[in-house]
Amino acid sequence: MKKTLKTTKERSEIMKKIHGKDTKIELKLRKALWHLGLRYRKNYKFLPGSPDIALTKYHIAIFCDSDFWHGYNWKTQKFTIKSNREFWIQKIESNIQRDRDCDDQLIEMGWLPLHFWEHQINKDLDGCIKEILSYIPREFPITIKQ
């Protein structure tokens, strides 16, 4: 079955429906952290990049990055964009650069930025949680059910 390209108006309507807060992957990761007893701030505007999840007690800034918007496997993926290539390539590359700049600022402020890709959260949520927990001091009693 051949895919048909969307018109500019159709594509615009689709893109309007995409929101940057409370995405499915954010909700999934936040719910798992909450059930472990970790408390956080969401979309924490007092930090560069407004991390999706900020563990203020431990100075950990967590970002749930969409595979498309943040350029997962970008060196390969950018060649798969079919319509409005120039715009999308510039847009996603600027997102990647902004992520790097925010990470640098967070590190300078003494925070640890952690990024998890959409596919990581969806396929290996426990692995994401374990990575986060590895940066939390041992006095915090958490056990992950296997």
Distance of CA 111 to the CA centre of its chain: 16
User: Average pLDDT in the 87-92 region?
Assistant: 87
CA distance 86 to 63: 26
Q: How confident is the model at residue 143 (pLDDT cuts 50, 70, 90)?
A: low
pTM of the model: 0.80
pLDDT at 138 over 60: yes
CB 113 within 8 A of CB 106: yes
Q: Mean of the pLDDT values across residues 87-91?
A: 87
DSSP, residue by residue, the chain: -PPPPPPHHHHHHHHHT--SSS-HHHHHHHHHHHHTT---EES-TTSTT--SEEETTTTEEEEEE-TTTTTTTHHHHGGG--SSHHHHHHHHHHHHHHHHHHHHHHHHTT-EEEEEEHHHHHH-HHHHHHHHHTTS-TTS------
Task: Tell me the per-residue pLDDT of 124-135, one tens digit each, with 9 for 90 and over.
Answer: 999 999 999 999
| pLDDT band for position 9 (cuts 50, 70, 90) | confident
Fold of 22-133: Endonuclease; Chain A (3.40.960)
The chain-wide mean pLDDT, for the chain, equals 86
Residues in the chain: 146
